Amino acid sequence: MMSEEALPNKNLRIDGTRLWRSLMEMAEIGATPKGGVCRLALSDLDKQGRDLFREWCEAAGCSVTVDPMGNMFARRPGLDPKRAPIQTGSHLDSQPTGGKFDGAYGVLAGLEVIRTLNDNGIETEAPFEVVVWTNEEGSRFAPAMIGSGVFSGTFSLEEGHGKQDKDGKTIGGELTRIGYLGTAPLGHPVGAYFEAHIEQGPILEADSKQIGIVSGVQGQIWYEITLTGQESHAGTTPMPVRRDALVGAAGLIEAVNRIGQAHNPGGCGTVGMLQVHPNSRNVIPGKVFLTVDFRHPSDQALALMDQEIRAESRAIADKHSLDLDLQKIWSFPALEFDRDCVAAVTRATTQCGYSNRAIVSGAGHDAVYLSKVAPTGMIFIPCADGISHNEIESATPEDAEAGCNVLLHAMLAMADRD
Amino acid at 247: V
Shortest Cβ distance from residue 390 to Zn ion (Å)?
13
Task: Give whichever of 103 and 377 is closer to Zn ion, judged by the CB atom.
Answer: 103
Query: Would you count residue 172 as binding Zn ion (CB under 5 A)?
Result: no
**Cα–Cα distances in Å, from 310 out to 31, 92, 261, 305?**
45, 39, 17, 9
For the CB of residue 229, give the shortest distance to Zn ion in the complex, in Å.
Answer: 41
Residue 64: strand, helix, or coil: strand
Stretch that binds Zn ion, among 45-53, 103-111, 266-274, 337-345 (CB under 5 A): 103-111
The residue among 103 and 149 lying less far from Zn ion, judged by its C-beta, is 103
Residue 87 is classified by DSSP as: E
- Among 46, 67, 102, 129, interactor with Zn ion by CB under 5 A: 102
Using CA atoms, how far apart are residues 301 and 394, in angstroms rounded to an integer? 33
**393 counts as binding Zn ion under rule CB under 5 A:** no
- Minimum Å gap between C-beta 265 and Zn ion is 24
Give the nearest distance from C-beta 292 to Zn ion in angstroms: 24
* In the complex, least distance from residue 135 CB atom to Zn ion, rounded to whole angstroms: 11
Residue 278, preceding bond cis, omega within 30 degrees?
yes
**Pick from 283, 302, 137: which is nearest to 217 by CA?**
302
Query: Cα separation of 390 and 76, whole Å?
Result: 34
Nearer to Zn ion, 103 or 127 (CB): 103
**Residue range at the interface with Zn ion (CB under 5 A); choices 42-50, 96-104, 284-292, 297-305:** 96-104
Contact between 93 and Zn ion by CB under 5 A: the answer reads no
In whole angstroms, the minimum distance from the beta carbon of 361 to Zn ion comes to 10
**Contact between 233 and 284 (Cβ < 8 Å):** yes
Q: Contact, 193 vs 367, CB < 8 A?
A: yes
**Binding range to Zn ion, per CB under 5 A, among 36-44, 100-108, 121-129, 372-380:** 100-108
* Distance separating alpha carbons of residues 289 and 276, to the nearest angstrom: 7
403 binds Zn ion, rule: CB under 5 A: no
235 C-beta neighbours (distance < 10 Å), count: 6
What is the DSSP code string of 249-280? HHHHHHHHHHHHHHTTTT-EEEEEEEEEES--
Identity of the residue, 102 or 231, whose beta carbon is nearer to Zn ion in the bound complex: 102
- Exactly one of 78, 89, 98, 103 binds Zn ion (CB under 5 A); which one? 103
**Helix, strand, coil % (nearest 5) of the chain?**
35, 25, 40
User: Segment contacting Zn ion (CB under 5 A): 99-107, 164-172, 215-223, 322-330?
Assistant: 99-107
Please report, as ranges, the residues that interact with Zn ion according to CB under 5 A. 102-103
